Amino acid sequence: MFFSLSLAALTVAAIVSASTAQQPFGSQLPIASNAFETYDNGLFSPLEDLNLLSTDSFTTLTHPVFPKHSVRIKKSSDFCDGTVNAYTGYIDIQARHLFFYFFESRSNPETDDVIFWTNGGPGCSSGLGLFMELGPCRIDTANATKFNPYSWNDNANVFFVDQPIGVGFSYADYGETVSTTEEAAKDVAVFVAMFFEHFNKFKGNAFHMAGESYGGRYIPVFASEVYDQNAVLIQNGLTPINLTSVMIGNGCTDDGTMYSAYYEMQCSPASVHPINTIANCVDMRRKVPRCEKMFKESCRDSTDSIACNIALSFCNDAIFNPFMETGYNPYDISKPCEGDISDTLCYPITKNISRYLDRPEVRETLGVDPSIGAYQSCSSDVGARFDINLDGVFPTQFYIAALLERDISVLIYVGASDWICNWLGNDRMSLGLEWYGKEAFNAQELSEWQFNGTAAGLTRSAGPLTFATIYDAGHMVPYDKPEASLEMVKRWLAGESL
């Protein structure tokens, strides 16, 4: 959901040919030499039917190809959306345990697509996306949920995953941590493979990986790992994942395109009337070129962490701090921040989500591990570890271009009123992608897309790449414009243009 660098400043149907694929994991993914034989001899039996799961205790799922991984899963009867089956559990990677929610489609679960969703941060729980944005229910008070008619599980099966460890209800033993997106991606990819192997009714369904904010970093890397892992699955006689697309909402993917956009979004009518003072805007205008130069030289052209942190500090002082003086919501500059951003993230509803998920009966239904303390929407410790590794400054647009080159469809959608991962920076990032369709994509002018007879936003599309804005929406599009966001997703899953 939220982008860590800002918080610091503000306080994967393409299949790799088995004959040409490389070993993407090498020694990183242990695969027994007799893994296919073990599978073929029937020593692995998929659970297949989710209805066999208990509502009172976990069922543990394993797979011989992934000896260090297992999945604990239970049925969470009537939780959140009484019209569909809901499941919760943990992805266990030895001492690391990632919590997830899974909701079947309200339409036809056996044939509908599957969506993987993660919030951003890094360090923010996907419970925010579930209970505040695109999930089958929303939390208004700390005591109950209410049905969300615009949930993305209207015609898709949807996962919400708390990752990496230390986020939401995820945890680790013996002090283990995850500090980079690439490291987190390996665990996510194995979980995806294990899920489809066990639950055959979803096998072969189109699979989409989606997320927002720092998801602009997460999702391209996670999807690439799932794509590359298909070579391993094929080698071991398993069915590859039908990775069809990625959907990135208000993503921060390339910092290099964001700094000037931060200036323009607060000092020009790119979205709303300028919100900062003329004096601050003139000062920023002078400093943005230096910020961009320092960032390129110290964070992109070299791996000097000290110099890069100096560059980031300069950019923060020049651009972020003046914005914070305005009192506006960095996730929606059409309105002021509600409450202390470190406490409410500018949205008081996050406090009710935390209180609801701290209720003992809710935790019992979900199967939350007893070791988990009070629920936190975002973990500053996880965010700090990623920041120390400068994870956020990696040019993740390279992953997006590589996915496009392999004909994985990419949807970049952005709420027009967001500041922190704004539409100007995302538009420039998409135009700068180096891929076979660049010329055709860049030749397209932004044009309005319609919903319910009115303009819903701007869009540009060519081949497998689509960029879109959503009017009157901020950082969390499904929260601000739930009906329009669902229509956008339905068109995307159906392969229709906006």
pLDDT of residue 64: 87
- Residue 266 structure tokens: 């607060």
pLDDT at 31 over 50: no
Residue 7 or residue 352, greater confidence: 352
pLDDT at 426 over 50: yes
pLDDT at 192 over 70: yes
pLDDT at 125 over 80: yes
3-state secondary structure of 482: helix
Mean pLDDT of 75-90: 87
Domain total for the chain?
A: 1
Annotated catalytic residue within 254, 332, 418, 480 = 418
Eight-state DSSP code of residue 200 = G
pLDDT at 92 over 80: yes
Averaged pLDDT score across all residues of the chain: 89
Q: How far apart are CA 49 and CA 30, in angstroms?
A: 28
Strands 207-213 and 243-251, sheet pairing: parallel
Is residue 343 in a domain? no
pLDDT at 437 over 70: yes
Annotated catalytic residue within 170, 379, 475, 485 = 475
pLDDT of residue 307: 96
Q: Residue 158 belongs to what domain range? A: 4-256+393-493
Mean pLDDT of 296-322: 94
pLDDT of residue 146: 93
- Tell me how far the alpha carbon of residue 104 is from its chain's centroid: 19
Q: Are 393 and 299 in contact (CB under 8 A)?
A: yes
Annotated catalytic residue within 4, 105, 170, 213 = 213
pLDDT of residue 47: 67
Give the pLDDT band of residue 34 (cuts 50, 70, 90): very low
Q: Is 92 in the active site?
A: no
Sign of the CA dihedral with 164 first, then 173, 7, and 180 last: negative
pLDDT at 17 over 50: no
Is residue 326 in a domain? no
345-365 core/surface letters (b: 16 or more CB in 10 A; e: else): bbbebbebbbbbbeeeebbeb
Q: Is 213 in the active site?
A: yes
329: closest CA among 10, 69, 78, 94? 10
User: What does pTM read for this prediction?
Assistant: 0.90
pLDDT of residue 76: 87
Q: How far apart are CA 301 and CA 141, in angstroms?
A: 48
Is residue 293 in a domain? no
pLDDT of residue 14: 32
pLDDT at 454 over 50: yes
3-state secondary structure of 445: coil
Residue 477 or residue 41, greater confidence: 477
Mean pLDDT of 359-370: 94
Burial class (CB in 10 A: 0-12, 13-18, 19+), 324: middle
pLDDT at 35 over 70: no
Give the pLDDT band of residue 28 (cuts 50, 70, 90): very low
Report pLDDT digits (tens) over 241-272: 999 999 999 999 998 899 999 999 999 999 99
Is residue 324 in a domain? no
Q: Are 152 and 138 in contact (CB under 8 A)?
A: no
Q: Which residues contact 106 (CB under 8 A, 6 or more apart)?
A: 81, 83, 84, 136, 151, 153, 154, 155
pLDDT of residue 48: 65
Is residue 434 in a domain? yes
pLDDT at 451 over 60: yes
Domain of residue 135, CATH code = 3.40.50.1820
pLDDT at 116 over 90: yes
Is residue 139 in a domain? yes
Give the pLDDT band of residue 45 (cuts 50, 70, 90): low
Give the pLDDT band of residue 218 (cuts 50, 70, 90): very high
Is residue 319 in a domain? no
Is residue 164 in a domain? yes
Q: How far apart are CA 88 and CA 68, in angstroms?
A: 20
Question: Highest mean pLDDT: which of 77-81, 123-127, 190-194?
Answer: 123-127
Q: Is 407 in the active site?
A: no
Mean pLDDT of 479-493: 97
Q: How far apart are CA 210 and CA 488, in angstroms?
A: 13
Least confident span in 49-53, 253-257, 294-298, 313-317? 49-53
